[in-house]
Chain A
């Protein structure tokens, strides 16, 4: 039934307000995720759409929560290493290193130079592997499948190297408190150099396919721009922060593992949009290759674990088999855990996704009293409800891809 309303002809405002609700139409609620290809994991976005434009967006997290922090309280420091693989599972080696360094900082333990160099290699190779995936999958998100194939071929080579080094392609569990699980294999450094030689041409190829591609640029330039102030206010770290023009890189600002020895640049962006974040990752791969090369050039000899840390790093296997004292020591370290003094420590490392921090509270002994993990992806995602509104629905894919987050570390 049509209803009639009386409006005086001259009353323009009344007419406009009457019409407004009709013109605006209804908004629509749309749920993306928790399992949706664009969300790269189990992220769920609750959105309110007005036509094609997102009005409101609320990220819902926690679908991958495993209680890692609580699990850590129930096992020795070394037993937790495999769990750190499963934080940012695209760069497990970097997580292993960050975790071991946090506990070592609490124990005031310096690892030998060779161990540091091995760890630097691990971190940088992990960064390359993570960014190769970031760039490749981002291309795929924007509709460029080929790039994904190229970068994945390279990443596969890297995984073969990891496999040789650690015994596993993916879940590396490589570090121990006070060292690494095993020394580098024969000829491995040469193979790493070979990989570095191969990855740069592939990057150039990707450059040719994406960087100057008009379709890709139309989809990314100016989309999802984050201002410097916002980025800092929301606690964004890593490449996403540097793309906004803030030159915070913990490897330069708070050098650890002897990063001050290496000569590399920190790329920074100008606009903080999706295109900048893409350029950022491509450039970081190049810088990482530089670090890897310098590291291999001056690879130190020596032990791969802290030999003087008798209560922290388990003794050499050959000794355990033949000598009583070492056998007992082995049993003590395994059952009681690496002995770490009481205290609290916070350590964060520049991981591929941002600053991964571990806050360890110890009451002494080999088991943490509390272990808090600061996952960079979690903080990076916090900006979504501010960033996404006002964009088209089709831009969501591009924005999410450019933030390059990992739910494993977000939900922990």
Chain B
């Protein structure tokens, strides 16, 4: 059985009907607040503190050795609810990274349309390579629609390098040189 509590409604007393207690109370509030510290922030001179794991603009990251982490599996493209991501898969340049070429793939093009993105973070959540991260950029603007589409170069520039616990390729190499690949 629900435990209820009936809301009290007391009629106004004579003093309250004269408005005077309310006016005094109101003025007290006004002067009290004048003496308190302000709660607002002088944006953009002052910036709010962004907590860890904030969901800002999605970016692509490289591992500490400068390798692209994204393998172009297109899972993020699939999951993105508003379909903001467009990926064209490509090959890894065999000259630059001979051991990774023909083993993994890399995106040829990777566009995120920031006019569509809703910052939901699903792309980061599903990525099996920890290659896409929503970082702390929260205000972005542009003069044209094209400008709001982040291409691959821009995404890597925004993303930078994040510390990586796994360093998959280094481990693989170490295993290979120790004679037990795969």
Q: 8 Å CB contacts to A: which residues of B110-154?
A: 118-122, 125-126, 128-130, 134
Question: How many Å from the CB of A68 to the closest CB on chain B?
Answer: 12
Shortest distance from the beta carbon of A41 to any chain B beta carbon, whole Å: 20
CA distance A361 to B52 in the complex (A): 38
Q: Shortest beta-carbon distance, B69 to chain A, in Å?
A: 11
User: Quick one: which of A256-305 are within 8 Å of B by CB?
Assistant: 264-271, 275-276, 279-280, 283
Q: Per-position contact with B for A172-216: 1 when CB-CB < 8 Å, else 0?
A: 010000000110010000000000000000000100110011110
Q: Which of A280-339 contact B (CB under 8 A)?
A: 280, 283, 314, 317-318, 320-322, 327, 330-331, 334-335
Chain B positions 12 through 23: 1 when the CB is less than 8 Å from some CB of chain A, otherwise 0:
100011010110
Choose among B4, B7, B79, B134 the residue with the greatest number of A CB atoms under 10 Å from its CB: B7
When the two chains form the complex, which single residue of A173, A182, A252, A334 contacts B79, counting CB atoms closer than 8 Å?
A334
- B52 to chain A: closest residue by CB: A185
Query: Are B9 and A266 closer than 8 Å at their CB atoms?
Result: no
Cβ contact of A82, chosen from B5, B39, B75, B118, cutoff 8 A: B118
- Asked whether, in the complex, the Cβ of A205 is within 8 Å of the Cβ of B126, the reply is no
**Does A345 reach chain B (CB closer than 8 Å)?**
no
A322–B130 alpha-carbon span in the complex (Å): 12
Which of A8-16, A57-65, A162-170, A373-381 is the contact stretch? Answer: A162-170
**B25 x A173 contact (CB < 8 A):** no
Report the Cα distance A321→B167, complex, angstroms.
10
Q: Which residues of A contact B (CB under 8 A)?
A: 75, 78-83, 146, 153, 156, 163-164, 166-168, 171, 173, 181-182, 185, 205, 208-209, 212-215, 217, 221, 243, 247-249, 252-253, 264-271, 275-276, 279-280, 283, 314, 317-318, 320-322, 327, 330-331, 334-335
Known: A269-B7, A321-B128. 7 other contacts (CB 8 A): A185-B53, A209-B22, A213-B22, A247-B4, A280-B7, A321-B130, A327-B128
- Which residues of B line the A interface, CB within 8 A? 2-7, 9, 12, 16-17, 19, 21-22, 25-26, 29-30, 39, 51-55, 75, 78-79, 81, 118-122, 125-126, 128-130, 134, 165-166, 168
